[in-house]
Structure 1
Amino acid sequence: MVAMQGFTQRCFTNWKNPSIPTMDWTGTALAVAALIFFFHALTWKTRANIKRLPPGPRGLPILGNLLTIGGKPHQDLRQLALKYGPIMHLRFGLMPVIVVSSPEAAELFLKTHDLVFASRPPHEASKHISYNQQNIVFSPYGSYWRNVRKMCTLELLSNHKISSFRSTRKQELDLLVHRIREAAAAGVAVDLSSEVTSFSTDVACRMIIGKKYNRDDFSEKGFDATIREGMQIAASFNLADYIPQIRGLDLQGLTKRMKIIAKDFDDFFEKIIEEHVQSQDENRVKDFVDIMLGFMGSEETREYRVERDTIKAIILDMLVASMDTSAVTIDWTLAELIRHPRVTKKLQQELKDVVGTKRTVEESDLEKLEYLDMVMKESFRLHPVAPLLIPHAAREDCTVNGFHIPKNARIFVNAWAIGRDERVWTDAEKFYPERFEGSDIDVRGQNFELIPFGSGRRGCPGMQLALTVVRLVVTQLVHCFDWELPDNMLATELDM
């Protein structure tokens, strides 16, 4: 689980997705202009009166630079940053946006001025789906967020709690290996993405809500489909996030969909909570819902301020983060290993030396696998699961590197661009794990050349669990199987 980061993998990409209602952008622009011209005229300032903002491209009236961003925003923003610099100013609708694209700039925003940029901007989807932003991901900085994060870090995602589910992960991984072995014996091609996603879903459900759920246990659409629709809506480009004056019009039909999916989520979470409240089994391992319910109404833990809606919002956060992001990271890593047989053979040799061939990989083996560590760092560098980290928001006016950063500006940290910065990485586009040999660069947020989990106060609280799950699955699948592409497909033909 790359906790609290999962749905940003598709941030801004779904606004052109055919499954999302789309619009005629020319007509929309005219409609929006007519509706908010008055508001815009009241707030407009000429460039001569604005403090020294970072450089950036001029935008259109009302829409700003929105139309310059396509289906791969991290790549589009990187190209703009090559022209305007690692701290760049854009305008999305009426909202100022600062794009950060270098390790040095990331350190300024995520460490030097961390407290100033520790909040989140308003987010329409989270307001509807996550109980008015009571989740960890989009909750604004303040006492509520600090208390909830503290509870998650100490009570749900501590090393002790992660270790308590070791047998759960082993059981589900054994099932995954068994399914793949059966397919291999039958000579059937394996849909690896589907298998890994099922594994991630089952592990997440058992840890968070105590049991696995079938596809038909969650609304008419089914469990997986409902969760993924919620993720898709949350990651969809919503004009109302950038032009608040048109929020009530719901021009894209997203609010209507949010309300429907929010009702599905709420019904399901109520069912989960009631099952836990009514449970009489004192011997079962306590899952995350059990722990959070233990804090409701407790005088000893009033600092956590846990209410029923808080529990629901955190359940959703944990499920989304666990189900999607770990599976995506495993997909990218295995795809690179298939494309680079030399790397795969070297990793398999390390596994033979450390683990042997008479048993499967255990979690206790992971810290001994040095080349695995290099492989995972290289995968995170090239394919961060959240290419643009979840936006930060400026809590007050601030000066960074001589530039004025206005209050409420959205800060986008382009982790994908940082990982491919040619000033930092030799042959930056090449998958070459050996680049980390003898290097002290880590992924835990202290080295800003590599920040797949973010850094600072809003860094990923589930990082250790994510690293454990991802490394365990990759090593087990590489240790147990030799992989090749189907139908004589060449590795160079694999679309990355």
Structure 2
Amino acid sequence: MMSLILFFFSLPIILILYFQTQKPKLTPPGPPGLPLIGNFHQIDGQFQYKYFQRLSKQYGPVMLLKLGIRRLIVISSAEAVKEITKSNDAVFSRRPSVVAAKRLTYNHLDIGFSYNDTWREMRKISNLHLFSAKQVQSFHPILRDEVSKMVEKIARDASSSTVVNFSDTSMSLLTNILSRIAFGKICEKDRFKDLLDETQHVLGGFFVEDYLPWLRWIDRLSGMAAKLDKNFHNLDFFYQELIEEHMNPNRPKSMDGDFIDIMLRIKENGSSSFAPTINHIKGVLMDLVTGGSDTAAIALEWTMTALMEKPLVMKKLQEEIRRLGGKKDMINKQDIEQLSYLRAVVKESLRMYPPAPLLLPRETTNKCSVNGYEIEGGSMVYINAWAIGRDPATWENADEFMPERFLEDGQIPELITFGFGRRGCPGMGMAIAELELALANLVYRFNWELPKKEDIDFECSPGATMHKKNALRLIAKVVI
């Protein structure tokens, strides 16, 4: 009896001491929302990355928003990314399952939009067989050939003072490179562009089911479900056509050793620990269609835009390349290894103009801590590459195009344009090689100027990728 009395008397003291030793849960700050819909009514659907950047100035680099049933964490600082990479890379490596990506990747059988046991195996195939250093090197003749064709076409336009639509030129170049590397042939330009535009519209579109699943019927009324269904069938027909061409014993020689050929050989002869199915191959093709040409073309377009606004940077770049190139016809891969300012220009462009300003969303696998804030498991995470690249706390004169910053000694944050950690893009090496080779030869062979009565603008089109709103139009003057 005495023990029971002592217990009841001591219980309040025990409880007080217990709660005093427990650290309170610190939830990331964010704008207040409404019941059920959360912050939906506040989101800028056209330029989300700029909206999130403005919010981060008020709420900080780790923010919490509510979008229906989803918790959305927005990361807007290099320090937070560094902490994630160092301490929570595995926790932040999952992808959220969303309606459009799930359908277009054959229920997450790809690399970019999935995170499961299949993803791990497909990632190995990608790293060992598709985007290894040796494989990227083997594709260099294709890069060189396509860049040479582009340069010769521009030279013909220059001889007649024809205005070059640089936006179209960039897209054609990168689409041709992707087509030859992945499909073994150059696809019909209009058909490929229509597929790409349709797919980007669907992937960047709003599906109510992703946030308010009990209202999924709205997607049928709005037409989004029908658009997704049409896009899936158009893509599937395109993939199947390519695969059947590759399985034809009388196929063109150019298809030997391309991405589809490599994956079909792995499927047939078991040269990997995992044998992909036809749907796995189609899932990877979806990744290539959506990210293989468009992002690199956007990066090239913005780099030239920045150089046209900064003539002194352009002059310095041309002097470096022309000093090395002398009078030879073309800058090659070996030359580029010696062009430190060229590589700095490319990095600076990717810092200021990331082709995908919000990286593909991630999802936390379980509870963790970032910047002292507790992040719940199952939270959707946006990494705002646009805001991180322009963060004045990280970059001196953050809004100035200054390639020299990448030549100086000191701690320069890692660029996250192509993702980071386990979610780094396996095709990054290929994309950088394309950018450097194309840019080097464009500024080596030509001087560039704007057409009369036209000026440089930096307006963007809305969407998940950062296309210029107005095409970049330039006049080329042959120098070499």
| TM bucket normalised to smaller | 0.7 to 0.9
Partner amino acid, structure 2, of 1:159:
A
> What is the percent sequence identity of the aligned residues?
36
Q: Deviations over 1:169-203 (max 9, x none)?
A: 11111111122111111111111100110111111
The aligned counterpart of 2:188 is: 214
**1:260 maps to 2:260:** no
Q: Structure 2: how far apart are the matches of 1:474 and 1:245?
A: 50
Instruction: Normalising by structure 2, report the TM-score.
Output: 0.87
Instruction: Normalising by structure 1, report the TM-score.
Output: 0.84
Q: Deviations over 1:378-407 (max 9, x none)?
A: 111111111111111011122333322112
Larger Rg: 2
Q: Structure 1: how far apart are the matches of 2:222 and 2:68?
A: 15
SS in 2 for 1:58: coil
**1:66 maps to 2:40:** yes
The aligned counterpart of 2:419 is: 454
SS in 2 for 1:97: strand
The aligned counterpart of 1:27 is: none
**1:328 maps to 2:298:** yes
The aligned counterpart of 1:76 is: 51
SS in 2 for 1:117: coil
Q: Deviations over 1:234-266 (max 9, x none)?
A: 122333222222224414321211111111111
The aligned counterpart of 1:409 is: 379
Q: Structure 1: how far apart are the matches of 2:185 and 2:110?
A: 22
CA contact (8 A) 1:144 1:305 kept: no
Q: 1:398 to 1:198 in 2, by over 3 A?
A: same
Q: Deviations over 1:54-93 (max 9, x none)?
A: 1111112222112222121111111111111111111112
**1:162 maps to 2:132:** no
The aligned counterpart of 1:291 is: 262
Matching residue within 68, 82, 87 for 2:62: 87
SS in 1 for 2:222: coil
Which segments of 5 or more consecutive residues in structure 2 lack a partner in the other structure? 1-23, 461-480
SS in 2 for 1:90: strand
SS in 2 for 1:368: coil
Q: Structure 2: how far apart are the matches of 1:441 and 1:294?
A: 44
Partner amino acid, structure 1, of 2:372:
G
Partner amino acid, structure 2, of 1:457:
R
CA contact (8 A) 1:129 1:259 kept: no
The aligned counterpart of 1:346 is: 316
CA contact (8 A) 2:110 2:287 kept: yes
Q: Structure 2: how far apart are the matches of 1:230 and 1:401?
A: 36
**1:465 maps to 2:430:** yes
SS in 2 for 1:482: strand
CA contact (8 A) 1:238 1:252 kept: no
Alignment root-mean-square deviation, CA? 1.8
Q: Structure 1: how far apart are the matches of 2:84 and 2:33?
A: 24
Q: Structure 2: how far apart are the matches of 1:393 and 1:118?
A: 7
Cα distance, 1:304 vs structure 2: 2.4
Q: Deviations over 1:82-138 (max 9, x none)?
A: 111111111112210111111111122233101111100012111222211212111
**1:229 maps to 2:203:** no
**1:397 maps to 2:367:** yes
Q: Structure 2: how far apart are the matches of 1:155 and 1:306?
A: 13
The aligned counterpart of 1:242 is: 211
Partner amino acid, structure 1, of 2:437:
L
Q: Structure 1: how far apart are the matches of 2:301 and 2:252?
A: 38
Cα distance, 1:300 vs structure 2: 4.7
Partner amino acid, structure 2, of 1:239:
V
**1:205 maps to 2:179:** yes
Q: 1:329 to 1:440 in 2, by over 3 A?
A: farther
Q: Structure 2: how far apart are the matches of 1:417 and 1:283?
A: 46
SS in 2 for 1:311: helix
SS in 2 for 1:150: helix
CA contact (8 A) 2:352 2:390 kept: yes
**1:424 maps to 2:394:** yes
User: Is 355-364 or 280-289 further displaced after alignment?
Assistant: 280-289
Q: Structure 2: how far apart are the matches of 1:365 and 1:252?
A: 53
Q: Structure 1: how far apart are the matches of 2:309 and 2:41?
A: 35
